[in-house]
């Protein structure tokens, strides 16, 4: 069992779902590294591929291509039996609905006992000591004889977390674990996750749409269109393993008036992610503000790389935004009269109208994709 290096390594991960004749590319070359002991959040719009990634890391789904290695095990190469062992011992999974982890007619203790008995890796006395420790860690030991309908939503989710951790996995995956509960309950669930992360150096990856989560976790990775696009890293000044601040890496928040973060102070750093081919996604707001779409110019400057709107946008069909053309092809049936030249002209015509300011307000906003 490999115990060095990052716990999770995804390299150019691709997942394509085939539904009848249609192909949905849920992950399109996603790269991700998660260190051991990290508590990480994943955010992104609906349909961006977050659950697909979690299901692959959880051994519940198989990637179409690329690499997904967890604790030294290549998930693309595991046999069905190997995958079952992986799901049982390496990884724990928590869903939005705690009921997916729980059997309603068993009590809390029995729900946690069950996967340990099935896993077969502990003697009865080991099991008893471990479930006690685990239920104390999630604050449910005195509720161990309660059945599920006697528990609140937050208590059910904390039971589900205990069930996920019953066989001492190295990785806990949670897909929107606070998606169905109120703010106070959500905070309790996050506190529990943070406590487990600190106590057992447990690596946790949680999907969330809850903006407060980004203040709880070490790092938030943004996913867009099936690829990692941005990262927000939380640093506590002076914490072990945190590099000293430099000018280039200046904190964006919480610096004191002298500009230097104090010991113990929390700072956040925003990054865009480059993939292995050097591609990156620029923030959509910036692109819209500058009116960049289709093409841009990249210039080397003293401070770094500058991205500016392409000059000579008017030159003609060569500078057309291909996404706009594809969109205009979209719902209409192909017929003899529809050729690319015409489409391009109509898109260019629309653009000219936009520039001259008489744009129809109902027209969709420009696409901001790098």
Residues that bind Mg ion (CB under 5 A): 50-51
Give the one entry of ligand ADP, Mg ion, none that residue 193 binds, where binding means its C-beta sits below a cut-off of 5 to 8 angstroms depending on kind. none
Question: CA 278 → CA 65, 302, 304, 363, distances in Å?
Answer: 19, 20, 15, 33
Q: Does 209 bind ligand ADP (CB under 6 A)?
A: no
- Stretch of residues binding ligand ADP (CB under 6 A), selected from 48-56, 190-198, 311-319, 332-340: 48-56
Of residues 8 through 27, those in contact with ligand ADP by CB under 6 A are 17, 19, 24, 26
Joined together, the tokens standing for residue 153 give 């939503």
Cα–Cα nearest to 251, from 273, 231, 268 = 268
> Quick check: 199 and 207 in contact, CB under 8 A?
no
CB nearer ligand ADP, residue 94 or residue 140: 94
- Residue 93 Cβ vs Mg ion, minimum distance, rounded to whole Å: 13
Give the one entry of ligand ADP, Mg ion, none that residue 366 binds, where binding means its C-beta sits below a cut-off of 5 to 8 angstroms depending on kind. none
CB nearer ligand ADP, residue 140 or residue 205: 205
- Across the chain, the runs of DSSP E, i.e. the strands, are 8-19, 22-34, 39-43, 65-70, 73-74, 91-94, 171-175, 203-207, 219-224, 227-236, 266-272, 296-300, 305-309
- Residue 42 Cβ vs ligand ADP, minimum distance, rounded to whole Å: 9
Q: Does 29 bind ligand ADP (CB under 6 A)?
A: no
Q: C-alpha angle 321/327/332, rounded to 5°?
A: 140
CB burial of 267-300 (b: ≥16 within 10 Å; e: otherwise) equals: bebeeebebeeeebbbebeebeeeebbbeeeeee
- Residue 213 Cβ vs Mg ion, minimum distance, rounded to whole Å: 15
CB nearer ligand ADP, residue 52 or residue 293: 52
d(CA 42, CA 29): 16
- Stretch of residues binding ligand ADP (CB under 6 A), selected from 40-48, 88-96, 294-302, 328-336: 40-48
Half-sphere exposure of 133 (CA within 13 A, CB side): 13
Question: Quick one: which of 39, 40, 51, 227 contacts ligand ADP (CB under 6 A)?
Answer: 51
Give the one entry of ligand ADP, Mg ion, none that residue 69 binds, where binding means its C-beta sits below a cut-off of 5 to 8 angstroms depending on kind. none
Q: Does 44 bind ligand ADP (CB under 6 A)?
A: yes
Binding positions for ligand ADP, rule: CB under 6 A:
17, 19, 24, 26, 44, 46-52
């Amino acid at each position: 069992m490999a115990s060095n290096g990052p716990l999770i390594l995804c390299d150019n991960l691709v997942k394509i779902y085939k539904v009848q004749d249609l192909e949905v590319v849920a992950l399109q070359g996603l790269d991700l590294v998660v260190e051991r002991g990290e508590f990480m959040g994943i955010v992104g719009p609906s349909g961006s591929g977050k659950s697909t990634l979690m299901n692959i890391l959880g051994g519940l789904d198989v990637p179409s291509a690329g690499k997904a290695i967890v604790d030294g095990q290549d998930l693309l190469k595991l046999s069905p039996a190997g995958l079952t062992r992986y799901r049982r011992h390496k990884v724990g999974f928590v869903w939005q609905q705690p009921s997916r982890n729980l059997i309603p007619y068993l009590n809390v203790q029995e729900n946690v006992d069950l996967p340990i008995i099935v896993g077969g890796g502990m003697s009865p006395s080991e099991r008893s000591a471990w479930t006690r420790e685990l239920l104390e860690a999630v604050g449910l030991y005195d509720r161990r004889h309660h059945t599920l309908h006697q528990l609140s939503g937050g208590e059910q989710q904390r039971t589900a977390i205990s069930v996920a951790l019953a066989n001492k996995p190295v990785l806990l995956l949670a897909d929107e674990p606070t998606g169905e509960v109120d703010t106070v309950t959500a905070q309790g669930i996050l506190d529990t996750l943070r406590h487990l992360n600190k106590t057992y150096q447990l690596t946790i990856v949680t999907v969330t749409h809850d903006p407060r989560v980004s203040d709880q976790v070490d790092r938030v990775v943004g996913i867009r269109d099936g690829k990692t696009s941005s990262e927000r890293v939380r640093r506590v000044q002076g914490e072990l393993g945190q590099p000293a601040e430099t000018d280039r890496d200046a904190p964006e928040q919480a610096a004191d008036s002298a500009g230097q973060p104090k010991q113990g102070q929390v700072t956040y750093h925003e990054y865009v992610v480059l993939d292995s081919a050097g591609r990156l996604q620029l923030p959509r707001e910036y692109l819209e503000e500058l009116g960049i779409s289709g093409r841009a110019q990249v210039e080397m400057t003293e401070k770094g790389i500058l991205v500016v709107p392409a000059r000579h946008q008017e030159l003609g069909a060569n500078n057309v935004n291909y996404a706009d053309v594809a969109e205009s092809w979209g719902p209409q049936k192909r017929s003899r009269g529809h050729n690319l030249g015409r489409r391009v002209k109509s898109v260019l015509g629309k653009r000219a109208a936009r520039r001259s300011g008489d744009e129809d307000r109902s027209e969709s906003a420009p696409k901001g994709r790098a």
